[in-house]
Copies of this chain bind each other. A is one copy, B any other.
Amino acid sequence: MEADLVIIGAGSGGYEAGIYAYRRKMRTVLVELSPESVGGNCLNKGCIPSKYMRHGAHILDKLEIGERWGIKPKGIDLDYGSLRRGRDEVVVTIRENFKKFAQQINLPIIYGRGVIKDPNTVFVEGAEVTIKTKFILLATGSRPVAVGDLVPDGRYVVDTDQIWDIDFIPKKILIVGGGAVGVEFAYIFKKYGSEVVLVELKRRVLPSDDIPEDSARYLGRKLKQLGVDIRTKTTVESWEKTSEGIKAKLSDGTEVEADFILLAVGRKPNTKGIGLEEIGVELDERGFVKVNELSQTSVPNIYACGDITSPLMLAHKAMYEGKIAVNHMLGGTDWKRDDRIVPKIIYSAFEVASVGLTEEQAEDEDYEVLVGVTSFVTNPKAMDDGENEGFVRIVADEETGKILGCHIVGPNAGELIHQVVHMMRDHKDVEFASKTMYSHPSLSEAIGQSASEIYYGPITWVKR
């Protein structure tokens, strides 16, 4: 079999790159482990099913204040089985749409393990097919890591690949890890009726440096208000099985009993067993594939995208890198990675969105920093929707007014942030953001107001 491009892995990155390569008229072959894993982690065990469940939690939040709109349920039954069915139906529909579409455009998917034999040859184990190709794109993704004696077994210690098979709402759950996945499931399970203990090694939830202190704290406070028992600077020292589930000793000296532990402590890249060492694709000291800003590895005709290239494991980063790779294969050199304009979004009790630098990061880079903040508390659209919590925070360079970063907590943060992604990509300043006509009432107005806080100087806006 011959191709211009073989893509190993049909997750978000690989799949999107495949469609893009089709658009750009490359003869492309996708290699994926099985028909059930098309779409990869994001679709099957990650962002898609979790966003689904999170939306249910959000509806429950809204129902609690439904009386404000004259909506008074006489009582609500929660049915985890229905939730799971709805969720899995969405996942399967998207997966089947993917496959149907690939078929429509004659983009072949070969099922099996893709192994690189030489820079121009991929052998697919299982399918037993050899493909000769001009280019290879590695898009093999990542998998959850374990930590210490917290070894996932799918029953007592459940990792983020296994949580989808849990078929009951736990009475009590111990979540280990306060990153994006941890705070997301803490919110979901809390709203669906679980007692939730969330343990985080660092001093706050969302400990990533890319998320500003204010955003992380604001979310943490809300989760606590909802009744999530958050323990920061805390670890699990030991655990044991009980007749009911588990009992864990925490480093704060307390014991927690729960139905099971959800382990959400991170992921590692899938770089083994696909022939990388043998043909000299270089990895960095953490095990990620080294790529340049055109997604090219140390072997010039082999490219990589997504979770295997850096710890910033986001589906859209994978998709973007994959397209940049394809573009470069076809001679394009102008379209490059720019990690500074990657939107980072967490869906928990609030949507928490970030792009670009935090205030601290900007100061570390020796910018004179100006910050403009607008609260959603007094935003009319947010008030109409009963979701007037959170804020828009813009970080700008004092000298030029250039927008360096934006951090949004609150309603629709995950969509609103894109306005600033567009602007930052184009190096826009706060004057630009300030002078756009924002619809009234809209949440988007808060972006213009934050920019105006910087451009015209701060005003004593009504905050409470």
Interface string of A446-464 (1 = CB under 8 A from B): 0100001000110111100
- A23→B457 contact, CB < 8 A: yes
Partner of A19, one of B55, B70, B319, B459: B459
Partner of A70, one of B81, B317, B385, B432: B81
- A385→B343 contact, CB < 8 A: no
Which applies to chain A's interface (DSSP): helix, strand, loop or mixed?
A: helix
- A383→B94 contact, CB < 8 A: yes
Interface string of A104-144 (1 = CB under 8 A from B): 11000000000000000000000000000000000000000
A249 within 8 A of B: no
* Count of A interface residues, CB-CB < 8 Å: 100
Segment from A44-52, A206-214, A230-238 that makes contact with B: A44-52
- A418→B444 contact, CB < 8 A: yes
| Residues of B close to A461: CB separation below 8 A | 101
- Distance in angstroms from A315 CB to nearest chain B CB is 4
A254 within 8 A of B: no
- B74→A77 contact, CB < 8 A: yes
A298 within 8 A of B: no
- B73→A73 contact, CB < 8 A: yes
- B62→A71 contact, CB < 8 A: no
- A437→B317 contact, CB < 8 A: yes
- A436→B421 contact, CB < 8 A: yes
- A76→B69 contact, CB < 8 A: no
- Distance in angstroms from A92 CB to nearest chain B CB is 11
| Residues of B close to A86: CB separation below 8 A | 67-70
A281 within 8 A of B: no
Partner of A419, one of B43, B335, B418: B418
Segment from A147-155, A261-269, A287-295, A409-417 that makes contact with B: A409-417
- A183-222 with Cβ < 8 A to chain B: 192
| Residues of B close to A271: CB separation below 8 A | none
Kindly report how many copies of this chain are found in the complex they form together: 2
A75 within 8 A of B: yes
Partner of A101, one of B47, B384, B462: B462
- Distance in angstroms from A378 CB to nearest chain B CB is 5
Bound CA span A383–B97, Å: 12
- B412→A415 contact, CB < 8 A: yes
- B380→A440 contact, CB < 8 A: no
Segment from A2-10, A159-167, A359-367, A422-430 that makes contact with B: A422-430
- A25-75 with Cβ < 8 A to chain B: 42-43, 47-48, 51-56, 59-60, 62-63, 66-75
- Distance in angstroms from A351 CB to nearest chain B CB is 11
| Residues of B close to A385: CB separation below 8 A | 51, 55
Bound CA span A294–B384, Å: 32
Bound CA span A43–B381, Å: 11
Bound CA span A438–B442, Å: 21
| Residues of B close to A391: CB separation below 8 A | none
Bound CA span A462–B54, Å: 26
- A414→B440 contact, CB < 8 A: no
- B335→A435 contact, CB < 8 A: yes
Partner of A62, one of B59, B319, B320: B59
A83 within 8 A of B: yes
A441 within 8 A of B: yes
Bound CA span A457–B453, Å: 41
Can you spell out 17 A-B residue pairs with CB atoms less than 8 angstroms apart?
A52-B384, A56-B70, A59-B66, A63-B63, A63-B73, A67-B79, A70-B78, A70-B83, A73-B74, A90-B384, A93-B383, A316-B437, A319-B440, A412-B412, A418-B444, A421-B436, A425-B437
Not counting A51-B384, A59-B69, A70-B79, a sample of 12 additional A-B residue pairs whose C-beta atoms are within 8 angstroms of each other reads A23-B452, A51-B380, A55-B69, A56-B70, A67-B79, A72-B76, A97-B378, A315-B441, A335-B435, A342-B437, A414-B442, A418-B442
Across chains A and B, which 7 residue pairs bring their CB atoms closest together, nearest first? A56-B69, A70-B83, A68-B86, A73-B73, A70-B82, A316-B440, A315-B440
